[in-house]
Amino acid sequence: MPWLTPPLPSEFWGFRIRDVMVCAGADGASSCMGDSGGPLVCQKDGAWNLVGIVSWGSSTCDTKTPGVYARVTKLRDWIDSILEAN
């Protein structure tokens, strides 16, 4: 699944995608309704890494429109604090 960098996501959605978000898809694959909370992973040096968590996207599951994911690297400290508290 393609990884999109600014300014491309904003061109699809009409507003700025914040730095805690990442966009992927729009090349025949994307997230869809019911995928929220699911993983966006990539493989590096033989290991799979969680890079995003499905947040939102096209209401019609259009594979020409990128899905928007929570960027795990930007939210890791917050995620860890929630896990520790619970």
Q: How many CB atoms are closer than 10 A to CB 25?
A: 25
Domain-wise residue ranges, the chain: 3-85
**pLDDT: is 6 or 52 the higher one?**
52
- The CATH number given to 3-85 is 2.40.10.10
CA distances to 69, 71, 75, 76 from 81, in Å: 20, 16, 10, 9
Tell which residue, 57, 59, 39, has the closest CA to residue 49: 39
pLDDT band at 81 (very low <50, low <70, confident <90, very high): very high
Top-ranked range on mean pLDDT: pick from 17-21, 24-28, 70-74 = 70-74
Q: Region 26-33: what's the mean pLDDT?
A: 82
| Tokens 């499905």 belong to residue | 54
What pTM was estimated for this model as a whole? 0.80
